[in-house]
Each structure stands twice: as structure tokens, then as C-alpha cells.
Amino acid sequence: MAEPAYALNEPDPSVQELIAARPQLRMDAQAGLMLDGVPLARIAAELGTPAWVYSAETMRTRLHALQDALGGLNADVHYAVKANDHLAVLRIFAAGGAGADVVSEGELRRARQAGIPASHIVFSGVGKTVRELTLAVTEGIAQVNIESPAELDMLSAVASRLGRVMPVVLRINPDVDAGTHAKITTGKADNKFGIPFDDAADLYAYAATLPGIAPVGLALHIGSQILTLAPYRAAYQRAAELVRGLRERGLAVERLDCGGGIGIGYRDEPGASPTGFAGVLRATLGNLGLKLMVEPGRWLVGPAGVLLSEVVLTKGDGRFVVLDAAMNDLIRPAMYDAYHAIVPISPVDALAPVRQSDIVGPICETGDTFARSRRLPAVEAGALVAILDAGAYGAVMSSAYNARPAAPIALVDGDRWTTIRARQSYEALWTNEIVPDFSGG
């Protein structure tokens, strides 16, 4: 076994520690790494790699844990579809009683296609088009979350043209630092999201005068992968202040959409707890008689997914481990410097001596790196690994960069599994392309 190519630093959690912290995973002495009741090697053998695998039971368990924590609060869960928009995933959450938070026409159509009633759908986003607002009104969704005065006027025109009155909530920007990565912070005054806190009350009063608009409440969403409660407490205190102020002006406020952002443990840090989050809601908003909504995405699906990959080769005595998965499949490490735990699937590989390597993909970009200086058991060409906690902002953010077809997806439920998306064909990559006569020949 080659020596590590350079000095070991901060030890990464061991394979055993990573698995022990994730109840959906288990290392079987014969079958290797199992997701619930299914050996991941079996799925890789049938679907090839790279391949995504989701655990249905993990999604259900997490939704129920959150719903239990929210008990007594008059709060509904609206799953943030953008985290993982597969129809089967939407169906699992719908069956568990969740509605949907959508941010585009495509997501609205997906949610409806998965059987989520329009009355359980809320529409967020900073740039909804007239076409999207028209669909929202004709479908009769629960509410549109308004992010600007211009959007309020657009929606008023659309709804009155259709002879409808649309319930809206105003998304306020509470100017709170969520303490998360800059690219996923959304509640600071200099982010593009929401209505400046100081403008919100006047805009709410204005909304009440518009035809086609019924202001019913407020919304806020301060960022993603939030691991501490303090930013939530600060934001909801500001929201409560605004609710009281609006009511003093004689304006009715019935709903507060509290947003999402609840963080998970990607390494060995503890994820945010739903009971802690619910405790903040109770303390800051509990006595206002509001209908509350929460919109988690990552917390519900992140831990439910893994990305399976095979080691293509190693370079430089193990300094680099090159996988067949790449940044086009899972872009979070390249885009957000995100940490994803990586573990071998074979029980033998899992016991190999630890080595420090860069775990990279085959794409022609230095950013195509899943982990830098990562300590993990030495895996060689042909070994299978699982990149953990890849259920959220994974497959949805994939691209076909380097002409790499979209990877297949399997869904595990107990000891059964099934393919829920086939691997994309090469022909599908260019099926919509048109080669005009003047391009040569």
C-alpha cells in the first residue's frame, strides 16, 4: 500500500461513524452497504454507475417527524419541490399530507401531475412571468408569494382579467444573516429576495386596495442549510412585529409562510432539529393565531439519497481517485464548496487502510472535485462508492455537460427497489438539435 501522498490533517469521520449517524444506512458483512433493506451493489450491478438511489422510508420518516414536531401549531408542511422534483418523490410527500412550494411553471405542473391538489400549492420566486401567474390563478393555487411591488401589479392585472381574486402573502426580507454559505443566503437586505422590511406595511395596505388581490399574510425564507436557531428566531420576531403593526392598522393577517432552510448534517455536525425549529415557531409566533406554513426541501430529502459511482482509476499513488460520477451529476461541491461524505460499498473496501486523496470526476474542469484531501479507505479501480446525503439539490441540478447523459434513479422501499428513471440515451442528448443546411457540407 502506497504512503499517503501528503500530510494528513483534520481527521474525517470514519466510514463506521458516518454510517452509524445515518439510520437508513448499514454495512452488512456479506452484502456491503445497504440503503434500508437493499444492498447498493445490487442496484449498481443492474443500473450501472453513476446512479442515484433514494429511500422512500427516509422521506416518510422525516416528514412525519417534522409534522409531529409542529403538532399543536396549526402549521402545514409545503415541500420545496426544487430540492428534488421527481414525481415519485412528490407522490410520497403528498401521500404523507404535505403540500408543495413551487418556483416555476414546470414545478407547478409537476406538483399537479403528481396529484398534489392546487389548494395545497404555494408559488414562490422573484421573477414569476405573466404566463406563470396566469397558470397559478387558473389552477386556483393556495397563494402566490409576492416578492415586489411590480409583481403585485402584474398579478392584480392577471387576476382581474380572469375575474378572480388571488390570495397573496408578501415575502418580506427581514435583513437577517442566516449564517450559511453566501450563495444560499436569501434574507439579507442586499439579496435579491423579498420586499424590504420597512416597505412591507405600506405595500400590504396598497395590496388590499387592488382588484384581483387579497392580501392574507406574510412570508419569509432566509436561506438554506441553516444549522442554528438564532437566525430563525430573529427573523420570526421581526415577522411577528410586522403582523402586529399591520393589525394595528386594521389590516387582516391570517397566514405566515415561515420558509424552509432547515439544515442537515453532511459530515459529523448535527443537523437542525425539527423540535428545536418548532420551539422557535411556538415562542415567536405561537400566540398570534396565525395559520403557519413551513417549506423545507433539503431537510426532507437530502439524507434520503445517495449517488453511486465506480472508481475509474487512481493516479499518483492514490493522490487522486477518479470516479465515473462528475460535477454534471452532483454540482454541490463545485458550486457551494459543499462537503459530501463518501464511503465504499464493499465491506472489504470499507476496512482498507485509510488514505488521503482528492476524489474527482472525469470532467475537464478543476472544479470537478467531490472532495479535497479526504481521508477514506483506499479504493482502487473498479470499487464502488456511495456519495451520501445527495437526495436534495442533486439530480435536479444535473446537466449534460461533457455530453454526459442523465444518470438513472432507483427508489428503495424496505427490501424492494425499482427504477424510477432510466438512464438517458445518447440519442436523447441531441434529439432536439437541428443542423441547418448552412452549417456545412
Q: How far is 124 from 297, CA to CA, in rounded Å?
A: 13
Number of residues that bind ligand PLP (CB under 6 A): 17
230 Cα distance to chain centroid: 21
- The residue among 295 and 310 lying less far from ligand PLP, judged by its C-beta, is 295
Q: Pick from 175, 135, 171, 173: which is nearest to 155 by CA?
A: 135
Q: What is the widest separation between alpha-carbon atoms in the chain? A: 75
At 334, list the grid cell: 463545485
> Taking the complex as a whole, how short is the minimal distance between the CB of residue 14 and ligand PLP, in angstroms?
28
- The residue among 96 and 318 lying less far from ligand PLP, judged by its C-beta, is 96
> Pattern 349-388, binding to ligand PLP, x per CB under 6 A?
----------------------------------------
- The residue among 62 and 421 lying less far from ligand PLP, judged by its C-beta, is 62
Q: How far is 393 from 148, CA to CA, in rounded Å?
A: 26
- Segment interacting with ligand PLP, rule: CB under 6 A, options 87-95, 257-265, 375-383, 396-404: 257-265
Distances (CA, A) of 102 to 124, 132, 264, 359: 6, 11, 21, 34
> Taking the complex as a whole, how short is the minimal distance between the CB of residue 196 and ligand PLP, in angstroms?
17
- Verify binding: residue 271, ligand PLP, rule CB under 6 A: no
Q: At 255, is the secondary structure helix, strand, or coil? A: strand
> Taking the complex as a whole, how short is the minimal distance between the CB of residue 352 and ligand PLP, in angstroms?
35
Marked catalytic residue, from 364, 403, 434, 435: 364
Q: Which residues touch 250 (CB under 8 Å, ≥6 apart)?
A: none
Taking CB under 6 A as the criterion, the residue among 298, 340, 404, 421 binding ligand PLP is 298
- Verify binding: residue 421, ligand PLP, rule CB under 6 A: no
- The residue among 189 and 381 lying less far from ligand PLP, judged by its C-beta, is 189
Q: How far is 298 from 274, CA to CA, in rounded Å?
A: 13
At 394, list the grid cell: 442533486
- The residue among 43 and 80 lying less far from ligand PLP, judged by its C-beta, is 80
> Taking the complex as a whole, how short is the minimal distance between the CB of residue 294 and ligand PLP, in angstroms?
9
Q: What is the DSSP string of 52-111?
A: EEEEHHHHHHHHHHHHHHTTTS-EEEEEEGGG---HHHHHHHHHTT-EEEE-SHHHHHHH
- Verify binding: residue 151, ligand PLP, rule CB under 6 A: no
> Taking the complex as a whole, how short is the minimal distance between the CB of residue 310 and ligand PLP, in angstroms?
29
Of residues 67-126, those binding ligand PLP (CB under 6 A): 80, 82-83, 101, 124
Of residues 175-234, those binding ligand PLP (CB under 6 A): 221, 224
Answer yes or no: are the C-beta atoms of 263 and 227 closer than 8 Å: yes
- Segment interacting with ligand PLP, rule: CB under 6 A, options 15-23, 132-140, 153-161, 293-301: 293-301
Taking CB under 6 A as the criterion, the residue among 259, 303, 361, 408 binding ligand PLP is 259
* Residue burial 293-313, b: 16+ Cβ < 10 Å; e: rest: bbbbbbbbbbbbbbbbbbbbe
Of residues 118-137, those binding ligand PLP (CB under 6 A): 124
- The residue among 112 and 332 lying less far from ligand PLP, judged by its C-beta, is 332
- The residue among 34 and 390 lying less far from ligand PLP, judged by its C-beta, is 390
- Verify binding: residue 295, ligand PLP, rule CB under 6 A: yes
> Taking the complex as a whole, how short is the minimal distance between the CB of residue 107 and ligand PLP, in angstroms?
11
Q: How far is 138 from 159, CA to CA, in rounded Å?
A: 9
Backbone angles phi, psi at 417, to 5 degrees: -150, 155
Residue appearing with cell numbers 397573496: 168
- The residue among 299 and 339 lying less far from ligand PLP, judged by its C-beta, is 299
Distances (CA, A) of 184 to 80, 260, 300, 328, 331: 14, 12, 17, 19, 14
> Taking the complex as a whole, how short is the minimal distance between the CB of residue 66 and ligand PLP, in angstroms?
11
Mark whether 258 is an active-site residue: no
Phi-psi region of 366 (alpha: psi -120 to 50; beta: other; left: phi over 0): alpha
Q: How far is 233 from 235, CA to CA, in rounded Å?
A: 6
**DSSP label of 432:** T
- Segment interacting with ligand PLP, rule: CB under 6 A, options 292-300, 364-372, 415-423, 428-436: 292-300
> Taking the complex as a whole, how short is the minimal distance between the CB of residue 64 and ligand PLP, in angstroms?
17
Known catalytic residues are 364
Footprint on this chain of ligand PLP (rule: CB under 6 A):
80, 82-83, 101, 124, 221, 224, 259-262, 295-299, 392
